[in-house]
Amino acid sequence: MATSETEDLKFTPLNEWHIAHGAKMVPFAGYNMPVQYKEGILQEHLWTRANAGLFDVSHMGQCFIISDAWEKTARAIEALVPADILNLKPGQQRYSQLLAPDGGILDDLMITRSAYPGWDGTAYVVVNAGCKDADYKHIAAHLPAGVTLKIDDNLALIALQGPKASEVLGAIVPEAKTLAFMTYHSATLDGVHLHISRSGYTGEDGYEISLEARHVASFCDRLLANPLVKPVGLGARDSLRLEAGLCLYGHDIDTTTSPIEADLKWSIQKRRREEGGFPGAARIQKELKEGPSRLRVGIQPEGRQPAREGTEIFAVENGQSRKIGVITSGGFGPTANAPVAMGYVEAAFAKADTPVTLLVRGKELPAKVAAMPFAPHRYYR
Amino acid sequence: MTTYFTKDHEYVRVEGDVATVGITDYAQSQLGDVVFVELPGVGKSYKQGAEAAVVESVKAASDVYAPISGEVVEVNAALADTPAMINEDAEGKGWFMKIKIADKGELAGLMDAAAYKAHTA
């Protein structure tokens, strides 16, 4: 199977660990990544929703934006993203998007304000693997004097997700149990520094843990020693985030979609909506006021057949069927025990329960617009 | 009773002039968890190599081709409710359809068990 495509693959610090645990490895965003382990996507998905799944997300980009004062750092970031960064409290984390001048999305990312004494001017930023080189270039090119970007390639990132994640991590780091959603705690375990945030991308309670790459395999072994934990691959990560109604960059959001079209209005706080001052503000403020022409919605096909990415969506208007949108992510939701999808439709058809028709493999498949998430969010609040 | 295999991972179990058709155990292991199967209607006729069924796993959708020309005389209706049977017993209870063989000469172009094993090695 070794082809020229795989020769340039990069490896996370857990590559050998995945193989030792029976992973099926596939190329993803330039990395050799585990798509599943022995039990398969379905079981790994259900295990995460019932217990705790351990994910390697070390392929994602981890970097720091640094100045001598939070206000300086925050203002520099606010010139690139539409979220309120200035009002982040020390230790608080927020989801946002890097925007292009026309309001299209260059990437989505997590931004955390440091709570380390003496590091108050530092933001910790996590970006997508497939976009990270372009993101770093974009960020570095737009930072003002006195604000710098520091890329850290020596960090690993793992996620522990599921209703038992708190019990598992709390057994070795007690402070993790009561850590607030979207904040982080800095812990030291047997001399290893752990940056633990209460966040994730499955819709479940859980953590994302950043630590030095050289320690990550032994830390994963320690988590896996708890029988509530199983390793989970990218396949289940995709079905979990799809059921949770969360966007996958390059599929549900990209440079052609605005955050408002993507139904990410909630991620733009009030001050920024009013003041603007981010790339594409004119378009985004117009869409906030008048509504976007299309909107990302959930799509629930009838029956059992999944409708995949690229499936065209039709609806009847004035007695005539016409194309009103397209599916951007679709598959089978093991928890929903049904096919689930999301995509963009013209705004007039975005209301939940609107009947639509999907063209799947040349056949018409009845479906409806559905409220998301397909599996309820169970974050720690 | 002889079983033949295609390069696209269908099996053909011949009993008299009827062939039981499904996907191989190797195919199901590559597909992963099967969540949906679309079977042809009884009475439909297919040419060898024509798309006759669809199998969808959590990962992806795949076509199943008629490994031999003929008329569909029976389909495995149980798969509609329990598609996971394909993962559990692909070459047994997870069969897709029975085809009345139109031309036994086509069987000569298929692989035997040993050749298929080599094909998937």
At A96, the amino acid letter reads S
Question: What are the sequence ranges of the domains in chain A?
Answer: 4-58+154-243, 293-381
**Predicted ipTM?**
0.85
CB neighbour burial string for A97-127, b if at least 16 within 10 angstroms, e if fewer:
bbbeeebbbbbbbbbbbbbeeeebbbbbbbb
Geometric angle at alpha carbon A264, from A263 and A265, rounded to 5°: 95
Instruction: Taking residues A243-267, report their average pLDDT.
Output: 98
Instruction: Taking residues A107-121, report their average pLDDT.
Output: 95
When pLDDT is cut at 50, 70 and 90, the band that residue A7 belongs to is: low
Tell me: the pLDDT tens digits for A51-83? 999 999 999 999 999 999 999 999 999 999 999
Q: Is A223 helix (H, G, I), strand (E, B) or coil?
A: helix
Instruction: Taking residues A82-108, report their average pLDDT.
Output: 98
Strands A312-317 and A206-212: unpaired
At A232, the amino acid letter reads V
Q: Which of residues 67-86 of B touch A (CB under 8 A)?
A: 80, 83
Residues from chain B that touch A308, judged by Cβ atoms under 8 A, are: 60-61
Instruction: Taking residues A185-198, report their average pLDDT.
Output: 97
- What span, in angstroms and rounded, lies between the C-alpha atoms of B7 and A296? 41
Tokens of B36: 């949906």
Compute the mean pLDDT over every residue in chain A, rounded to the nearest whole number: 96
What residue in A sits closest to B87 (Cα-Cα)?
A40
pLDDT at residue B60, as a whole number? 86
Domain covering A293-381 in this structure, CATH number: 2.40.30.110
When pLDDT is cut at 50, 70 and 90, the band that residue A6 belongs to is: low
At A26, the amino acid letter reads V
β-partners of residue A204 are A378
Residues from chain B that touch A331, judged by Cβ atoms under 8 A, are: 58-59
pLDDT at residue A157, as a whole number? 98
CB A289 within 8 A of CB A136: no
**A47 contacts chain B (CB < 8 A):** no
Mutation target for A interface from B28, B58, B59, B120: give the one with most A CBs within 10 A: B58
Contact A305 B36 (CB under 8 A): yes
Residues from chain B that touch A36, judged by Cβ atoms under 8 A, are: 32
pLDDT at A4 over 90: no
Contact A235 B54 (CB under 8 A): no
pLDDT at residue A381, as a whole number? 86
pLDDT at residue A117, as a whole number? 86
pLDDT at A158 over 50: yes
User: Which residue in B33, B38, B61 is closest to A42 by CB distance?
Assistant: B33
Chain A nearest CA to B97, separation (Å): 19
**A336 contacts chain B (CB < 8 A):** no
- What span, in angstroms and rounded, lies between the C-alpha atoms of A300 and A355? 10
The CATH number of domain A4-58+154-243, selected from 3.30.1360.120, 3.30.479.30, 3.30.70.141, 3.30.300.130: 3.30.1360.120
CB neighbour burial string for B22-50, b if at least 16 within 10 angstroms, e if fewer:
bbbbbbbeebbbbbbbbbbeeeeebebee
Domains annotated on chain B, with CATH = 2-114 (2.40.50.100)
**A41 contacts chain B (CB < 8 A):** yes
Instruction: Taking residues A309-329, report their average pLDDT.
Output: 96
For chain A, give the percent of residues with pLDDT over 70. 98
pLDDT at A178 over 80: yes
User: Which residue in B32, B35, B80 is closest to A306 by CB distance?
Assistant: B35
At A109, the amino acid letter reads L
Residues from chain B that touch A304, judged by Cβ atoms under 8 A, are: 35-36, 80, 83
| B90 Cβ contact list (under 8 Å, min separation 6) | B22, B23, B24, B25, B27, B28
Q: How many CB pairs under 8 A join A and B?
A: 43
Q: Which of residues 41-60 of B touch A (CB under 8 A)?
A: 54, 56, 58-60
Instruction: Report the sign of the C-alpha dihedral through residues B45, B48, B52, B53, in that order.
Output: positive
pLDDT at A23 over 50: yes
**A170 contacts chain B (CB < 8 A):** no
Instruction: Taking residues A246-263, report their average pLDDT.
Output: 98
Q: Print pLDDT tens along chain B (121 aa).
A: 799 999 999 999 999 999 999 999 999 999 999 999 999 999 999 999 999 999 999 988 999 999 999 999 999 999 999 999 999 999 999 999 999 999 999 999 999 999 999 999 8
pLDDT at A1 over 80: no
